[in-house]
Amino acid sequence: MRQRRVCHLLFVLLLLISSTSRSASSDQEQASLAGLSALRIVVEAPDDDQDKLALGESALLKEVEARVLAAGIRILGEPAWRATPGRPALKVDVAITGRRKESRVFLVEIELEQDVRLDRDPGKTGPAPTWSAAPRFGLLAPSAGAAPILQAVRDGLDEFVTAWRRANPKR
């Protein structure tokens, strides 16, 4: 009983934190999406599927690919991505805490990572997040399947597509 109360309290706290985070992309984030026509997708699912959620990397990858392609953004394989200026990668990370027999908290984070150059040393470049969706938290009931997590992923992807379309209005 106490664990359930702590889990619910944590969930409420996380909701409050996420609701106070920025709701729209900053101007810099928005600008980083301009001219983006293709990207690589990187998905990180929960480590193991002991929960029988059918939420492996391949299921998440299919969901992400479908949304990205429907928006008109090409998906790059590894060789093409390495040759693309900026090496843009859309990263989707799903984490779940707790044990299957208890209510658990999940977190979905989505960000676009691209190579950036340091102003103070233009010879130094490296990957950095240039756009990110608001983090999505949720409470997963013991009997719940993957639906709440997949919906959070869809919502984050919709946020990305909306921002991308604003930055690329003629596409």
For the stretch 143-156, pLDDT in tens is 778 889 999 999 99
CA distance 45 to 49: 9
Q: Is the pLDDT of residue 48 over 70?
A: no
Architecture of the domain spanning 2-167: 3-Layer(aba) Sandwich (3.40)
Determine if the pTM surpasses 0.85.
no
Write the pLDDT tens digit of every residue in 7-25. 555 555 555 555 444 444 5
Q: What pLDDT does residue 21 have?
A: 46
CA distance 77 to 149: 26
Cα 163 to the center of its chain, rounded Å = 14
Question: Rounded to whole angstroms, what are the CA distances from 7 to 1, 49, 65, 119?
Answer: 10, 21, 32, 44
Q: What pLDDT does residue 23 have?
A: 43
CA distance 109 to 77: 22
Q: What pLDDT does residue 9 have?
A: 55
87: three-class secondary structure by DSSP:
coil
